[in-house]
Amino acid sequence: MPQQGLSWDLLADLQLLLEFHFMQNALLVGTLVAVLAGAIGYFVVLRGQSFGTHMLSQVGFPGAAAGVLVHTSPVVGLIVFCVGGALGIGWTGRGVDAGRRSESAAVGSILAFSIALGLLFFRLYAGSAQGVYGFLFGSILGVTDQDVALTAVTTLAGLAVIALIGRPLLFASVDPDAAEARGVRVRAISIAFLVLVALSVAETVQVIGTLLIFALLVTPAAAAQRLTSRPGLGLAISIGLSLLFMWGGLSIAYFSLYPVGFFVTSLAFATYLGIRLVKAAA
């Protein structure tokens, strides 16, 4: 880790930050992840699917463990499990709504089981405690060159699809009935969107972990929607905040040696709180 501490010379600090290959990888993946998460998150909040997102991330946990177990990249396992989970939700034809009693009990049961499955996979692999913590709370050390390539491909694909279906998706999210009447294929779009969420969750987990993705996928978008109701501007703010939390979290984690997940969630929490307080005062 860094040889000498921080100084007021920003250029030297930046050089220090980019000194090691693992950190270059982490920043590269972090940037890609934050852009996609900020964009997808905007629609997640708009559509009120934050609990579905939470659920997909926990379904991803055994996926990551399975990826390690069969000696491919954990990101591959994450993508397979998350997309599978998303298609499952889409197939049953219901959104995941925390408000309904029987459904939230079913969701809770599935969550506990998928985490337990992840635990079993890790035990089968005889994985270390640090490995488990990495997937739960994120790690700046584990990103390989292969992961960077995979993340770049999925991010570009995700952004391309968002650009393609962005307009009808916005329409279908704000007013599904009117969109349906105007010939938008609402159901197909919502399943496509769930798959996008799954991809984004799978990517995000590798940097800040299964349990903390809320801070990148939901909080920036929620903050953006409190600041503006214009979709284009909101989307830009959401991506910007997501990038800010990611870069800030990664840099502080690098210089302080404490977990990146803590700093990303703290930045997100503080920003959200600040915006709420300012809005309440105004």
Partner 1 sequence: MNPLSYDFMQYALLAGTFTALAAGLVGYFVVLRNEVFTSDALGHVAFTGGLGALLVNLQLLLGVFGSTIAVAVGMGSLGGRSRGRDVAIGTVFAWVLGLGALFLSLYTSAKSGASGGTAGISILFGSILGLQATQAAVTAAAGVVTSLALLAIARPLMFVSIDPDVAAARGLPTTAIVLAFLVLLGATVAEAVQAVGALLIFGLMVTPPAIAQRVTSRPFVGMLLSGALAVGFVWLGLALAFYLSYPASFFITALAFGTYVVTLAVGRLLRVTT
**Interface contacts to partner 1, rule CB under 8 A:** 45, 48, 50-51, 54, 98-102, 104-113, 115-117, 119-120, 123, 129-130, 132-133, 136-138, 209, 211-215, 218-219, 222, 258-259, 261-266, 268-269, 272, 276
Q: Is 128 left (phi over 0), alpha (psi -120 to 50) or beta?
A: beta
Q: How far is the CB of 179 from partner 1 (least distance, A)?
A: 20
Q: How far is the CB of 273 from partner 1 (least distance, A)?
A: 8
Contacts of 226-229 with C-beta under 8 Å, sequence gap 24+, read 226/275, 226/276, 226/279, 227/275
Gap between the Cα atoms of 9 and 99, Å rounded: 52
Closer Cβ to partner 1, 185 or 248, answer by number: 248
Distance of CA 92 to the CA centre of its chain: 23
Backbone CA torsion sign across 126, 127, 129, 133: negative
Closer Cβ to partner 1, 168 or 245, answer by number: 245
Q: How far is the CB of 168 from partner 1 (least distance, A)?
A: 24
Closer Cβ to partner 1, 1 or 164, answer by number: 1
Q: How far is the CB of 185 from partner 1 (least distance, A)?
A: 26
What are 274's two structure tokens?
A: 């600040």
Q: How far is the CB of 180 from partner 1 (least distance, A)?
A: 22
- Within the chain, where are the H helices? 10-17, 21-46, 50-69, 74-92, 101-125, 129-137, 145-174, 176-181, 186-208, 214-217, 219-227, 231-256, 260-281
Closer Cβ to partner 1, 83 or 208, answer by number: 208
Closer Cβ to partner 1, 123 or 187, answer by number: 123
Closer Cβ to partner 1, 133 or 255, answer by number: 133
Distance of CA 263 to the CA centre of its chain: 15
Q: How far is the CB of 36 from partner 1 (least distance, A)?
A: 18
DSSP label of 93 = T
Q: How far is the CB of 146 from partner 1 (least distance, A)?
A: 26
DSSP label of 144 = -
Gap between the Cα atoms of 221 and 218, Å rounded: 5
The residue among 25, 92, 33 whose CA lies nearest residue 57 is 33
